[in-house]
Amino acid sequence: MHVGLEHYLTVSFLLFALGLLGVVMRRNLIVIYMSLELMLNAANLALVAFSRFNDKLDGQVLVFFIITVAAAEVSVGLALIVALYRRRQSAHVEDLTGMKL
């Protein structure tokens, strides 16, 4: 069977599901951040596949912007985690319940 758009989309969906599973199930803030990266990459893969199969380069430009924004997001998020760790000595979501009622 020839590889078409639906194959790439299937890989993208499964990768997004993996990332979501990691965000919901893991309790370590850093691993949750890695799962977020997986989800962003799944979206990137879907966009590149759409761009290829629809004969337009706009999707790839969008992926370029997503990569840039993801890099900025990771730097700010990891700085937040480090600041949080300095206060609480923990990077576990179960220990970070300061806003719980």
Q: How far apart are CA 75 and CA 81, in angstroms?
A: 10
Q: Name the residue nearer to another protein (CB basis): 64 or 101.
A: 64
Q: How far is the CB of 37 from another protein (least distance, A)?
A: 7
Q: How far is the CB of 15 from another protein (least distance, A)?
A: 6
Q: Name the residue nearer to another protein (CB basis): 18 or 101.
A: 18
Q: How far apart are CA 12 and CA 48, in angstroms?
A: 10
Q: Name the residue nearer to another protein (CB basis): 87 or 101.
A: 87
For residue 89, give both structure tokens. Answer: 């000595």
Q: How far is the CB of 47 from another protein (least distance, A)?
A: 10
Q: How far apart are CA 88 and CA 57, in angstroms?
A: 46
Alpha helices in 54-89 (DSSP H): 58-88
